[in-house]
Amino acid sequence: MTSTTFQHTRYVISENLVTFGAFALFLVLTLFAIFGEAIAPYDPLASNAAAALQPPSAAHWFGTDQLGRDILSRVMVATRLDLGIAVMAVALSFLVGSLLGTCAGYFGGWSDRIISRCIDTLMAFPLFVLAMGLVAALGNTVANIIYATAIINLPLYTRVVRSEILVRREAGFVEAARLTGNSEWRIMARHLFPNVLPVMMVHISLNMGWAILNAAGLSFIGLGVQPPTPEWGIMVAEGATYIVSGEWWLALFPGAVLMMAVFCFNLLGDGLRDLIDPRMRT
Amino acid sequence: MTLHQSASSTTATDTVTAQLLSVENLDVEFRTRSGTVKALEAVSFAINPGETVGIVGESGSGKSVTAFTLMGVLDRAGKVANGKALFQTDRVAVDLLREPESSLRQLRGKELSMIFQNPRTALNPIRKVGKQITDVLRCHTDLSGDALRDRAIEMLASVRIPDPEQRYDAYPYELSGGLCQRIMIAIALACAPKLLIADEPTTGLDVTTQATVMNLIKDLATQQQMAAILITHDLALASEYCDRIVVMHAGHVVESAPTHSLFRAPRHPYTAKLIAATPEPHKAFADLIPIAGNLPDLKATTIPPCRFSQRCDRYEPALCDQAPLTRQQPVPEHHVACWKPLE
Amino acid sequence: MAHSTGKIIGQRILGAIPSVIGVIIVTFLLTRALPGDPAAFFAGPAATAEAIAEVRATLGLDKTLPEQFFLYLGDLVRGDLGTSLTTGQTVVYDLATRLPASLELTLAGLVFAIALALPLGILAATKPNSWVDHGVRLLATAGVSLPTFFTGLFLIYLLYYRMGIVPAPLGRLDILYSAPPPVTGLYVIDSLLAGDLALFWAAASQLFLPAVTLGLFALAPLARVTRASMLGMLSSDFIRTARASGLPPRQVLFGYAFRNAMLPVITTLGVVFSFLLGANILVEKVFAWPGIGSYAVEALVASDYAPIQGFILTMALLYVVLNLLIDLLYVVIDPRAGVEA
């Protein structure tokens, strides 16, 4: 790291305490995702009719649900599933989208036309509706939630990578690599794609939040994850019935944690954007 | 305060009534994240009715900042720290820096107007050019309805735009850069102002268009007995069209004089170098002498009193570091801000 | 000019046709070309072997894929989307009766979002780094982080259960009222047309909370883009020209800056509609809103496939039409649109 980038980084850090708060939250979430089951105070699936629908207390910080299960434990354990779905989905659409986008941008011509046409068709759907249709058609499983979320995120990655590659295709360093006898695939993999990565990191972070929201939304309407598995969307859905009778904690805590997780990734994305390319800031 | 008008202050009083615009000791600062930039310091000059004055300098010398300050369109970060800018209207002299915004707005576009560089971006891209002229007319005159349109078309004709009636309905993207600049001129002159500020009006235009645009400005200025400030980095252009020239360097006015006397006997070393660096038909490219060094850092807490001292080969440590740097008048109407002016 | 604008509009309408074809192909593939037995899907979970075989024959599932596609197209042309097992009605009938509810909700949400986002964005842009500006930037990040279903529940708890200032979240109208004579299908408008203020109030107060929930989600991207594009416009050269010409601040801000700044906002509306139509499903479920979203969710729970397919097709076509309208609006505002194409 040169001294100017160091100064820039330090400046950005001092200007972005919020981003560091988000990063701390991200670490906590990661911790829960990895060790959630080990550190949860109760068994997330153990029901206890005697302790049903208890408001938050010293014993049950987030209260208990209609079956007497500890909500805090369920929220903690759910982290792995919720983040896992989002990470897998984003990774999948990043890999496939990058490949498609690179091909479309680099080769142009018919491969570009076919890929762009397919992406446009995906974009012709309201994305959440498409995800819902995909899960309904593919079958109601967690794996299909991941595929559906990945597919609706595909246009974003393909388009961003395609346009970034298009800009750089004729750049001097690519021409130099070509003249020194690198193969097309090697140029794409070793010279073009790494240059696109920083911009993609910003999109990945912002996209993670959206993926979490989508997956939780799908399970809220009863797709994918099935009860009694702890998952934030389902927990909110189950708690929804109790809102109108005043038992707010059932839906509030999983919903609030879900919101914080999404917020955390969005803030991280904003922070990364400031760090990588201040001009992208809006 | 480092730059003072010494000798001329006594003689100034009798000429003050004749001056259309007199700028005195103008300081402008920009607040940025990394410190305050002293963009203008003690800028003083005056414009008489009907005369054309060139403000010349490198980019970053503060020419545009001066113009924007006078028009009240400075960026948000820019602040007038000190100074006066008296503009003579029909009845009273108005301080362009102190007067309330609402009454200044009635002057802008009517008594003093401005044309900008990059005519393509200086026009509203999604409004018909004719409408952009009538917007100004509606704001400053009693005209309405068809009379507005007729007047706008008249303006288009007066800036020699072919087919003015058709062009009224054109959008800027449909016109060439030269035509856009004429539209700009039409907007600026729509209300027959007393002073026109032209900020690099020919930058970005091709050479033949440059001459037509400049001649147009000059002709209309003569016709309407309008004073004009021509802001340019092009000394040759200024010498061709201006009665007087004000030379700026790093936010200072370093020299001001009638054009012929400035060229015959430049007093400030910077002006002399600027003239030597200006291409002329009889000079070979190799004869041009670039000016060494860069503008000083105007963010620094201590800027030398003479902002040219670090680039100047006549620099003398003790003499030139004296503050405040005073303005001298070696011959009438010729001012120079230098401790060691050329003879 | 008028002639060429007409031509551009025609081009845009033609340009939407590939999207429509794409949408039809994808909805077709979603049901026919996927693993599992589509006939069993359409026949429902309790169907007998004979019923499944019958469905297979009616849907033409024993034919080749292209043949099936043309059969499907024929059905579409005839307006036949199958029958819902849960309601016993044709899917087209169900969708047609429920669509106005969804449209009313979406439009109200959009109006709420725009009514708040534009002034906020403009205010933030005219006072950069003020508290309004920081507030709007926080809102822009926080707003897209809100799970719609969660905000809805939270608002219900606060405004209905705790404060009691909104009616119970149970659909479009309290059972005490009957629906106004349908003209537009939107209760708040139809009740006004019928001159029934009490009914209007009843419908509006039911609509309020779901619309706000939906609007909060769409608010963030709109405010963000408005702020950014207004900021860009206010520091642009032509705004300086307008100010130097002495135009009144109101005209500079709204006549010059705002109109130009609207162009990126209109483009963003496409994404916003994608959000809104998706979030609609969740909001309808939370508020028991009798629109096509809750219809689809009910069908999903009952594994009733024909309504879901019809729902997805309707939503996608609606979205194509909305995008087309956005495109046309853009052409009307920006004279440069379509020139380079």
Q: Annotate B109-178 with three-state secondary structure.
A: CCCEEEECCCHHHHCCCCCCHHHHHHHHHHHHCCCCCHHHHHHHHHHHHHCCCCCHHHHCCCCHHHCCHH
Minimum Cα–Cα distance from B104: chain C residue: C246
Residue B340 to residues B149, B290, B313, Cα–Cα distance (Å): 57, 21, 11
- pLDDT at residue B69 is higher than 90: yes
Contacts of C276 in chain A (CB under 8 A): 126
In angstroms, what separates the C-alpha of C225 from chain B's closest C-alpha? 19
The span from the CA of A145 to the CA of C273, in Å, is 22
| CB within 8 Å of A7: residues ≥ 6 apart | none
In angstroms, what separates the C-alpha of C301 from chain B's closest C-alpha? 51
CATH classification number, C98-293, choose in 1.10.3720.10, 3.40.50.20, 3.40.50.620, 1.10.1370.30 = 1.10.3720.10
Backbone angles phi, psi at B108, to 5 degrees: -65, 130
- Average pLDDT of chain A, as a whole number: 84
What is the SS3 assignment for B26?
Answer: strand
Q: Please report which confidence band the pLDDT of residue A176 belongs to, taking 50, 70 and 90 as the band edges.
A: confident
pLDDT at A279: 54
Contacts of B139 in chain C (CB under 8 A): 245-248, 251
Which pLDDT tens digit goes with each residue over A1-30?
Answer: 456 667 666 766 666 677 788 888 899 988
Q: Locate A160 and state its tokens.
A: 């961003």
* Residue B227, strand partner residues: B195
pLDDT at B59: 84
Contacts of A121 in chain C (CB under 8 A): 19, 22-23, 25-26
- pLDDT at residue B242 is higher than 90: yes
Minimum Cα–Cα distance from C255: chain B residue: B127
In angstroms, what separates the C-alpha of B105 from chain C's closest C-alpha? 5
CB contact under 8 A, B139 and C238: no
Contacts of C301 in chain A (CB under 8 A): 222
CB contact under 8 A, B171 and C241: no
Touching subunits for chain A (3+ Cβ pairs under 8 A): C
**Residue range A223-250: average pLDDT?**
86
Q: Any alpha helices (H) in chain C, and if so which ranges?
A: 2-15, 17-32, 38-43, 49-59, 65-77, 91-126, 131-143, 148-155, 187-193, 197-234, 237-244, 249-250, 259-286, 292-301, 305-333
Strands B52-56 and B244-249, sheet pairing: parallel
Nearest to A259 among C31, C36, C145 (CB): C145
pLDDT at C280: 93
Contacts of C19 in chain A (CB under 8 A): 120-121, 124
* Residue B45, strand partner residues: B23
Backbone angles phi, psi at A203, to 5 degrees: -65, -40
Please count the other Cβ atoms lying within 10 Å of the Cβ belonging to residue B324: 13
Which of A221, A232, A267 has the most C C-beta neighbours within 10 Å, making it the best mutation to test the interface with C? A221
CB contact under 8 A, C23 and A209: no
The span from the CA of A243 to the CA of A228, in Å, is 20
Minimum Cα–Cα distance from A269: chain C residue: C141
pLDDT at B16: 44
Break chain C into its structural domains and give their ranges.
1-86+302-341, 98-293
Please check whether residue B169 touches C, CB under 8 A: yes
Is C150 in contact with A233 (CB distance < 8 Å)?
A: no
CB contact under 8 A, B139 and C248: yes
**Omega prior to A155 cis, within 30 of 0:** no
pLDDT at A23: 87
Q: Please report which confidence band the pLDDT of residue B1 belongs to, taking 50, 70 and 90 as the band edges.
A: very low
pLDDT at A13: 65
In angstroms, what separates the C-alpha of C243 from chain A's closest C-alpha? 24
In angstroms, what separates the C-alpha of A262 from chain C's closest C-alpha? 5
CB contact under 8 A, B116 and C1: no
Contacts of C335 in chain B (CB under 8 A): 126, 171, 173
CB contact under 8 A, B136 and C245: yes
The span from the CA of B224 to the CA of B221, in Å, is 5
Is C14 in contact with C22 (CB distance < 8 Å)?
A: no
Q: Please report which confidence band the pLDDT of residue B9 belongs to, taking 50, 70 and 90 as the band edges.
A: very low
In angstroms, what separates the C-alpha of A165 from chain C's closest C-alpha? 22
Indicate the residue type of C254.
F
Nearest to B124 among C238, C243, C339 (CB): C238
| CB within 8 Å of B174: residues ≥ 6 apart | none
* Residue B54, strand partner residues: B230, B245
Please count the other Cβ atoms lying within 10 Å of the Cβ belonging to residue B92: 8
- Average pLDDT of chain B, as a whole number: 85
In angstroms, what separates the C-alpha of B32 from chain C's closest C-alpha? 13
pTM, 2 dp: 0.83
Contacts of B121 in chain C (CB under 8 A): 236-238
pLDDT at A280: 52
Q: Please report which confidence band the pLDDT of residue A217 belongs to, taking 50, 70 and 90 as the band edges.
A: very high
pLDDT at B14: 40
pLDDT at B5: 47
Q: Please report which confidence band the pLDDT of residue A129 belongs to, taking 50, 70 and 90 as the band edges.
A: very high
Nearest to B71 among C244, C251, C256 (CB): C244
Which pLDDT tens digit goes with each residue over A138-166?
Answer: 888 899 999 999 999 999 999 988 888 88
CATH classification number, B2-111+193-336, choose in 3.40.50.2300, 3.40.50.300, 2.102.10.10, 1.10.8.590 = 3.40.50.300
Which of C4, C240, C241 has the most B C-beta neighbours within 10 Å, making it the best mutation to test the interface with B? C241
- pLDDT at residue B7 is higher than 70: no
CB contact under 8 A, C161 and A223: no
Predicted complex ipTM? 0.87
Contacts of B123 in chain C (CB under 8 A): 238, 241
Using alpha carbons, select from B270, B281, B287 the residue that is nearest to residue B342.
B270
pLDDT at A258: 93
Contacts of B116 in chain C (CB under 8 A): 237, 240-241, 244
Helix (H) or strand (E) holding B36: strand B35-47
Nearest to B139 among C238, C240, C247 (CB): C247
pLDDT at A242: 87
Nearest to A220 among C149, C309, C316 (CB): C149
Which residues from C are below 8 Å from B when comparing CB atoms? 1, 128, 235-238, 240-248, 251, 255-256, 259-260, 263, 333-336, 339
Contacts of A220 in chain C (CB under 8 A): 147, 149, 282, 285
- pLDDT at residue A282 is higher than 50: no
CB contact under 8 A, A258 and C150: yes
Minimum Cα–Cα distance from C335: chain B residue: B126
Highest mean pLDDT among A90-94, A268-272, C33-37, C272-276: A90-94
Q: Locate A251 and state its tokens.
A: 């839906």
Interface of B with C in 27-86 (CB under 8 A): 68, 71-73, 75-76
Which of A26, A115, A122, A125 has the most C C-beta neighbours within 10 Å, making it the best mutation to test the interface with C? A125
Which of B112, B135, B183 has the most C C-beta neighbours within 10 Å, making it the best mutation to test the interface with C? B135
The span from the CA of B170 to the CA of B126, in Å, is 10
pLDDT at C35: 57
Q: Please report which confidence band the pLDDT of residue B10 belongs to, taking 50, 70 and 90 as the band edges.
A: very low
CB contact under 8 A, C244 and B110: no
CB contact under 8 A, A126 and C315: yes
CB contact under 8 A, C22 and A239: no
Per-residue pLDDT of chain C (341 residues; tens, 9 = 90+): 445 777 888 888 888 888 899 999 988 888 775 556 667 767 776 777 888 788 777 777 777 778 888 888 888 889 888 888 888 889 999 999 999 999 999 999 999 999 999 999 999 998 888 888 888 888 888 888 888 888 888 888 888 888 888 888 888 888 788 888 888 888 888 888 888 888 999 899 999 999 999 998 889 889 989 998 999 898 899 999 999 999 999 999 998 999 999 999 998 998 899 889 999 999 999 999 999 999 999 888 887 788 888 999 999 999 999 999 998 888 888 888 766 44
pLDDT at B12: 40
Here the contacts of C84-90 (C-beta below 8 Å, separation 24 or greater) are C84/C299, C84/C304, C84/C306, C84/C307, C85/C44, C85/C302, C85/C304, C85/C306, C86/C298, C86/C299, C86/C302, C86/C304, C86/C307
Is C261 in contact with C229 (CB distance < 8 Å)?
A: yes
Higher pLDDT, A197 or A28: A28
Chain B, chain C: beta-carbon pairs less than 8 Å apart: 84
List domains and CATH numbers for chain A.
2-42+59-280 (1.10.3720.10)
In angstroms, what separates the C-alpha of C246 from chain B's closest C-alpha? 5
Contacts of B187 in chain C (CB under 8 A): 241, 245
